Amino acid sequence: MAHNYSYQTALAASERIGWKVKDLIGGDKKLDFSKPFMPESLAQVKQLSFLTPEEQLTLNQIRGHEYLSMFGLVEEFILPYVVDHARPQLSGDDYRVRALLQFAGEEAKHIHLFKRFKQEFEEGFGSKCEFIGPAEDVKRFVLSHSPLGAGIAILHIEWITLRHYLEGVRESQDLDGQFKSLLKNHWLEESQHTKLDTLMVEEIVARSTAKEIDQAFQEYGEIGAFIDQGIQQQAEFDVESFAQASGRNLSKSEREQVKEAVLKGMRWTYLGTGMTHPNFLATVEAIKPEAKQQIEAMAPAFC
Q: Please give the residue ranges that form the binding site for Fe ion (CB under 5 A).
A: 110, 158, 190, 193
User: Which of residues 10 and 175 has its CB atom nearest to Fe ion in the complex?
Assistant: 10
> How far is the CA of 20 from the CAs of 102, 174, 182, in angstroms?
14, 25, 11
Least distance to Fe ion, CB of residue 71, Å: 7
Cβ-count burial of 208 within 10 angstroms (0-12 exposed, 13-18 middle, 19+ buried)? middle
Q: Of 221, 244, 229, 250, which is closest to residue 65 (Cα–Cα)?
A: 244
User: Which of residues 196 and 261 has its CB atom nearest to Fe ion in the complex?
Assistant: 196
Least distance to Fe ion, CB of residue 202, Å: 17
Least distance to Fe ion, CB of residue 69, Å: 14
Least distance to Fe ion, CB of residue 280, Å: 13
Least distance to Fe ion, CB of residue 74, Å: 8
Cα–Cα distance, 247 to 253 (Å, whole number): 17
Cα–Cα distance, 271 to 158 (Å, whole number): 12
Cα–Cα distance, 261 to 280 (Å, whole number): 26
User: Which of residues 158 and 238 has its CB atom nearest to Fe ion in the complex?
Assistant: 158
Least distance to Fe ion, CB of residue 283, Å: 15
Least distance to Fe ion, CB of residue 2, Å: 22
Cα–Cα distance, 84 to 66 (Å, whole number): 28
User: Which of residues 116 and 259 has its CB atom nearest to Fe ion in the complex?
Assistant: 116
User: Which of residues 66 and 190 has its CB atom nearest to Fe ion in the complex?
Assistant: 190
User: Which of residues 55 and 158 has its CB atom nearest to Fe ion in the complex?
Assistant: 158
Work out whether the CA dihedral 250, 255, 258, 263 comes out positive or negative: positive
Amino acid at 186: H
Is residue 280 within 8 A of residue 156, CB to CB? The reply is yes
User: Which of residues 57 and 160 has its CB atom nearest to Fe ion in the complex?
Assistant: 160
User: Which of residues 79 and 263 has its CB atom nearest to Fe ion in the complex?
Assistant: 79
Least distance to Fe ion, CB of residue 111, Å: 8
